[in-house]
Amino acid sequence: MSNNLSLPQVAPNQNQKEVTINDQAFALDAAITEVLQVDLSSGSQILTNAEFTRHFLFVGAGQTAAATLIVPAIKRFFAVQNAGDFDLSISVGSSSFTVVSGTCSLLYNTGMDLIKIG
């Protein structure tokens, strides 16, 4: 079993297990429902592990030219909406995928490559 989302784990003999379990539930909920607005007005952005694992949809906007959103090498499904006026390249390692202006793409990050799902 993997822990790609870096969920907190219950330790043996841990007191207040419900706190850790609730934290897991909140993190899972965020990973499949939350939206992160990414300001690209200053150019390309690099998402942190926490930003990438605690959001599902990333909305890029504000770019004044083609920009790149660099995501961590963490396995997961995610979506990117390009609300800006220029192309938005999504990159992990040496793999990249372009989301054109005004569109949204569903992607899978294998940890090394990006695969377009829809």
Q: What is the pLDDT of residues 46-66, one digit of tens each?
A: 999 999 999 999 999 999 999
pLDDT digits (tens, 9 = 90+) for 6-47: 777 878 888 888 888 888 888 888 889 999 999 999 989 999
8 Å CB contact between 8 and 20: yes
Task: Flag whether 67 is in a domain.
Answer: yes
Strands 88-92 and 95-99: antiparallel
- pTM for this prediction: 0.88
Domain hosting 29: range is 17-116
In a domain, 35, yes or no: yes
**Six token digits for residue 26:** 């909140």
| Angle (CA) 114 2 99, round 5° | 20
- Residue-wise pLDDT for 73-114, tens only, equals 999 999 999 999 999 999 999 999 999 999 999 999 999 999
Residue 101 lies in a domain: yes
Q: For the chain, percent helix, then strand, then coil, each to nearest 5? A: 20, 35, 45
Is residue 9 assigned to a domain? no
Q: Does a structural domain hold residue 58?
A: yes
Q: What angle do CA 7, 11, 13 make, to 5 degrees?
A: 155
12 domain residue, yes or no: no
> Is 43 inside a domain boundary?
yes
Which residue reads 């992160």 in tokens?
36
Q: Report the domain count for the chain.
A: 1
